[in-house]
Amino acid sequence: MSPQRTVITGGRALVGDPLTAHVNVTDVAFEDGLITEIAPNLPTAGGAVIDASGCWVIPGFVDTHRHLWQTTMRGLTANWNLNQYVYRIRFHFAGLHSADDVYAGQFAGSLDALSAGVTTTIDHCHITNSPDHADAAVNALADSGIRALWCYGFFPTPQSEPVFTTPDDRLRDAARIRRSFFPTDNGLLRMGVALTELGVQPFAETRKEIQTAADLAVPVTCHSCCVWSQPYINDVAVLHREGLLGTGQLHSHANKCTDTDLALLGDAGCSVASTPDTELQMGLGSSIFGRAQGAGVNAGIGIDIVSNNSGDMFTAMRLLLQHQRRDALQPALDSAGLGSVGEVPPVTTRQVLHAATLAGARALGLESVCGSIEVGKAADLVLLRNDRLHMRPVIDDIDSIVLQATAREIDRVIVNGHTVVEGGALPPNIARRGIQLIEDAHTHLAQRVESLGGWELPLPEAPLVDLAAAAFEASFA
């Protein structure tokens, strides 16, 4: 049976690179998951038709940093800083998650992403507490229908009875996952690895993790230059000094990067991911986004953790845009007043939309697959309503998409040619399953957390991040 041709008609489509493309009324045809034609008045006989009248047709959002498993603790960290997050979640609550809890978090988290127009995400999955946990994480992604780069997290989650007793156990399990779940690199899901943070283990283990990624021929993501510890670990400088910066690496946060660090990342062909919600709240510092762009470093946008903030990319774009503008404009205002502010804003709506789409795809190594509407790319699309009272009039399409639209404008989400959200909603049976799974997982987790001392565990006197940094510095003395 030949694949069905589908034509999206009557919409205003953003075709090409979102940084430069114009929005025009045109049809978009796709077949077998790929965009085949883009032109006005395409023939529709013999195929399916999606009426996009009153809608923009935009590329699906690409999330460049997320920990999906933490959907089990939605909103928990709303008033926490990084010390509280690391001590409570990373060093305690993560170890209480069963494989079923991980499945629930991954599945519900992926559905949350899809319903918010995120068709592609990276999953920095640092809860691989056992082979069963790893299997559950991948299976949940596959069952959700999202496109993802799933990154095996090597972080040694503290547990009372660990299944993995040495770092090499996880490295071997990553190879098993590659063989079992990712025999090729052409599927909706692809594999990467997520490095353990520097300072958690001897640096020799970091070398092994990066070598494992090379052996498995998968990309690397890591948390970099975002912990304001005493002493400070400069991840980028250390990896460069040790000859371990590599093309295609994705460095999340990177808030504390110097101009020299950015030059090193750019020369190595790395990308960065900014997550404005958590960075602004938890003490990671100002976003690196604007400075990265100025240095020629590819920069995407990430949600990070819904244990803190929503999975809404519209909110993330606006937070990033306006805080970057504030950071850039305030020095001029302080020194010379409004007259010193230029006419062109330091960061534009086009730049953040590009970051949430094509730049994000580039950061994940998927630029040829998704991130823009072009013939030959995957049909990963969002139909966004523009015909409602609170959206009219539209003076500039891009400005309205970034600064006026919200997730409630989402009418349809398509991944690889398959509709996963229609009429602004997930299929009812899938939504019900996601809700039931995540509610059950949270209930079970809450009971274990209560036996440990509750969600607000008191912190040790010395911050873990400072202790880790001190140990790391001593290891190189």
Residue 244: count of CB within 10 angstroms of its CB: 18
Question: How far is CA 33 from its chain centroid?
Answer: 22
Token pair, residue 364, equals 């994940």
> Does one domain contain both 236 and 319?
yes
Same domain flag for 262 and 383: no
Q: Is the pLDDT of residue 2 over 70?
A: no
The pLDDT of residue 438 = 98
Give CA–CA dist 308/452, Å, rounded: 21
Residue 287 contacts residue 274 (beta carbons within 8 Å): yes
Q: How far apart are CA 102 and CA 130, in angstroms?
A: 11
pLDDT, tens only, 233-286: 999 999 999 999 999 999 999 999 999 999 999 999 999 999 999 999 999 999
Residue 419 CB contacts under 8 Å (≥ 6 apart), including other chains: 412, 413
Give how many domains the chain has, as a whole number. Answer: 2
pLDDT band at 470 (very low <50, low <70, confident <90, very high): confident
Q: Which amino acid is at 433?
A: R
Strand spans (E) along 390-441: 410-415, 418-422
Residue that finishes a domain, picked among 320, 355, 390: 355
What's residue 179's pLDDT?
98
The answer to the question of residue 441 being in a domain is: no
- Note whether 140 and 21 are same-domain residues: no
Neighbours of 392 (CB within 10 A): 10
- C-alpha atoms less than 13 angstroms from C-alpha of 58 in its C-beta half-sphere: 29
Per-residue confidence (pLDDT) for residue 446, from 0 to 100: 98
For residues 316 and 391, state if they share a domain.
no
Inside any domain, residue 450: no
- Shared-domain flag, residues 310 and 398: no
Kindly tell me if the per-residue pLDDT of 464 is higher than 80. no
Q: How far apart are the first and last CA of the chain?
A: 66
Same domain, 179 and 328: yes
Question: What is the distance between the alpha carbons of residues 358 and 247, in angstroms, rounded to a whole number?
Answer: 18
Find the CATH number of the domain harbouring 316: 3.20.20.140
Residue 19 and residue 65 in one domain:
no
C-alpha span between 93 and 133 (Å, rounded) = 15
φ/ψ (deg, to 5) at 367: -60, -35
- Number of CB atoms found within 10 A of residue 129's CB: 25
H-helix or E-strand containing 61? strand 61-63
Residue written as tokens 């991944």? 415
Distance CA 390, CA 47 (A): 34
Q: Are residues 56 and 134 in the same domain?
A: no
Which tens digits make up the pLDDT trace of 99-123? Answer: 999 999 999 999 999 999 999 999 9
Q: Strand 27-31's sheet: what is its strand order? A: 34-39, 27-31, 5-9, 48-51
**Beta carbons within 8 Å of 471's beta carbon, 6+ residues apart:** 199
- Backbone dihedral angles phi then psi of residue 462, each to the nearest 5 degrees: -95, 125
Q: 103 and 39, same structural domain?
A: no
Same domain, 82 and 117: yes
Tokens 């946060």, located at residue:
253
Domain containing 95 equals 61-355
Edge to edge, what strands does the sheet with 381-385 contain? 23-25, 12-14, 55-59, 381-385, 410-415, 418-422
pLDDT tens column, 352-369? 999 999 999 999 999 999
Nearest-angstrom CA–CA distance, 112 and 386: 22
Average pLDDT over residues 407-423: 98
Same-domain status, 97 and 197: yes
Q: For the chain, how long is the longest CA-to-CA vector?
A: 72
180 located within any domain: yes
Residues 73, 42 share a domain: no
Q: Which parts of 196-257 are beta strand (E)?
A: 220-224, 250-253
Checking if the pLDDT of 1 tops 50, the result is: no
Q: Tally the residues of the chain.
A: 477
Query: What angle do helix axes 203-216 and 167-181 make, rounded to 10 degrees?
Result: 10
CATH code, domain with 37: 2.30.40.10
Over residues 23-58, the pLDDT tens digits come to: 999 999 999 999 999 999 999 998 999 999 999 999
pTM of the model: 0.96
Q: How confident is the model at residue 476 (pLDDT cuts 50, 70, 90)?
A: low
pLDDT digits over 292-346, tens only?
999 999 999 999 999 999 999 999 999 999 999 999 999 888 988 888 887 778 8
The mean per-residue pLDDT over the stretch 78-84 comes to 97
